[in-house]
Amino acid sequence: MSNILNNTGNSQHSSAEEIDGADSNTNAVGQTNNQTIRECVATSLTEYFNKVDHENINELYELVLSEMEAPLLEKVMYYTRSNQSKASAMLGLNRGTLRKKLKKYGMLN
């Protein structure tokens, strides 16, 4: 399967849709989408910069991380059937850090 991070072959899934069981070649509206995560982020940032049109931007790094981290945690928790030990291993985090992040985003049962 293709790698969604950087095309180095380290990924087990080619898209977030694959984790949900949907066809990995179509997005939610049925359009073909073969972008890597990196390409999706770049596209989203380009669209963001076009929308803000030279406004003063602050804390962009934290904004991008929080926008990426929440869906990442959601998908990993879904994929692991909410098994925190499996999820923390998959993410390369210790369980305490995972729980802290889940709590931050209101995902802790």
pLDDT tens for 54-107 read: 788 999 999 999 999 999 999 999 999 999 999 999 999 999 999 999 999 999
Q: Is the pTM of this model over 0.85?
A: no
Q: How many domains does the chain have?
A: 2
The verdict on 62 and 45 lying in the same domain is no
Closest among 96, 95, 65 to 80, alpha carbons compared: 95
Q: Which domain holds residue 26?
A: 1-55
The verdict on 6 and 49 lying in the same domain is yes
The verdict on 30 and 74 lying in the same domain is no
Q: What is the pLDDT of residue 16?
A: 43
The verdict on 47 and 87 lying in the same domain is no
The verdict on 50 and 2 lying in the same domain is yes
Residue 21: pLDDT over 60:
no
Kindly report the backbone phi and psi dihedral angles of residue 94, in degrees, each rounded to the nearest multiple of 5, phi listed first: -80, 160
- pLDDT-derived band at 53 (thresholds 50, 70, 90) equals confident
- Whole-angstrom distance, CA of residue 92 vs CA of residue 88: 6
Residue 24: pLDDT over 60:
no
The verdict on 44 and 77 lying in the same domain is no
